[in-house]
Amino acid sequence: MAASSSVFTTSPSRNLSLIRLHQSLSPPLIRSSSVAFRPKRRSSSLVLCSTDEPKSNTEKEIPIELRYEAFPTVMDINKIQEILPHRFPFLLVDRVIEYTAGVSAVAIKNVTINDNFFPGHFPERPIMPGVLMVEVIAMPSSHLSLDM
């Protein structure tokens, strides 16, 4: 047999009512209950998605480029082109942001959907080919080996 009861309680911190939906009493060793929350009363105010009025009291949105400080560049593209013989589209390093001579380097390659390898490398789900990822690792590594 199953018995159901409704118990309404009001929480002082939240304006919600607790409703016990269903409490099972059979078999006696297994007891389950379902609980749901519902607002105590509905709000009469409407929320507008957009208005014709300009946003006068809100802050102007700051572009993402200005929100965060850029990484310090150790080597830009011009310095990289002086060291490596590769040129577009085979130059796969745009800048180096961290460099310890003979030990480590951190480089950045900016990738966009317009890069020439994306249309043919799984058109439905474009991914950067693994061979090019290895080449991206090899380019800063070749500069590291020059300093040894």
Residues designated catalytic: 121
**Exposed/middle/buried for residue 107 (C-beta within 10 Å: 0-12, 13-18, 19+):** buried
**Exposed/middle/buried for residue 92 (C-beta within 10 Å: 0-12, 13-18, 19+):** buried
β-pair partners for 24: 2
**Exposed/middle/buried for residue 59 (C-beta within 10 Å: 0-12, 13-18, 19+):** exposed
